[in-house]
Homo-oligomer: A and B are copies of this chain.
Amino acid sequence: ACLPDCPSTVRGLQSIFQEQEMTETVHDTEGHGYLATFIGKNGRLVILRVHSQGLVTVDLQCCEGDNIAQVDNLLNALEKKLKSILHGNIRGVKRLPALTRGAAVDRYWPTADGRLVEYDIDRVVYDEDSAYQNIKILHSQQFGNILILNGDVNLAESDLPYTQAIMGRGKENYTGKEVLILGGGDGGILAEAVKLNVYIDQMVIDGCRTHMRKACGSVLDNLKGDCYQVRMTVLSIALFLSRDGTFMVYSVSDSTWEFLQLILDLSIKVLRPTGKYFTQGNCANLTEALALYEEQLGRLSCPVDFSKEVVCVPSYMELKVLLNVAYHIYTVHIHAF
């Protein structure tokens, strides 16, 4: 980009702000480029900066109820004028979609690696605080209802690929196996699996039974079926220490790293040699966390072997916070031996 002569660039744009009857304030940045703010009708605010590297940024804020066509026209006029002032000598122009803040529906659920992602959420279906967490079910135009626990996207009705991947789709034979699901209150794995004990938040079950039926089907209508039983409790280690059956163990907890380590070790201890432990690792981009995870697998009280798989889950737009569900989940299949 060619750095324009700053004063003449600014003068060139001033006529636009004057036409809009906006009040200009020029600020002293102590040598960090030109910075002016312009206040217009309806609470409109424009922040104009000309940075030292030839970058010109224009921020426009408007309030709810403002005339969006007028706002767009103002941005169009500024862009056109800038192109004219700089005689087309511009490396690139980028206009980003508006960020909406304070709306009844929050559409921004950033990824685990801190990227900004806007979902097509149009409706709050369920929003309650249980004793353990905040439980939201939000409706997305394309993904159906999405379960969000404490701000982390857990599962959408579109996300059968996640459930299939964490269950080792087509690779595992579940006939006659006992299955323990830790977490999994959305019912997705339960809907796919055979025999299990589930430790989950009753309110997650209540919300999902009603609003996530494409994921859980009818398995949450009754907490006990012919071949499964759903138990709600705060996760305790008692079960692990008192039982020694053959378990398929699914850990779908969104707890802290230390907690996961504890569960991992306890789970491996309860597994018989032919038992398997399936869990999500992390998003593909969090390579350090993934390396740490694999390192921990070598430190368990029993030696284990493991395989991993990267899967693409529709609603994850990538990644989730901590070790929770991720766009590319890294499914660890651990085999005790």
Contacts and interface: CB of A to CB of B under 8 A. Distances in A.
Interface in A51-102: 51, 53, 55, 57, 59, 61, 63-64, 92, 94, 96-97, 99, 101-102
A64 B23 CA distance: 28
Contact of A120 (B42, B110, B118, B285): B285
A102 to B, nearest CB: 4
A39 B117 CA distance: 29
B96 A116 contact: yes
A288 B194 CA distance: 42
Q: How many copies does the complex hold?
A: 2
A217 interface: no
A106 B95 CA distance: 12
Most buried by B among A25, A28, A37: A37
Interface string A182-210: 00000000000000000000000000000
- Secondary structure of the A contact surface, majority rule: loop
A41 to B, nearest CB: 7
B42 A32 contact: yes
Given A57-B101, A102-B53, A318-B142, A39 B43 contact: no
Contacts of A92: 106
B35 A28 contact: no
Nearest to A64: B53
A102 B94 CA distance: 9
Interface of A: 23, 25, 27-30, 32-33, 35, 37, 39, 41-43, 45, 47, 49, 51, 53, 55, 57, 59, 61, 63-64, 92, 94, 96-97, 99, 101-102, 106-108, 110, 113-120, 141-142, 158, 161, 283-285, 312, 314, 317-318, 327-328
12 contacts: A23-B27, A25-B25, A25-B27, A29-B39, A30-B41, A33-B43, A35-B43, A96-B110, A107-B115, A142-B283, A314-B328, A317-B318
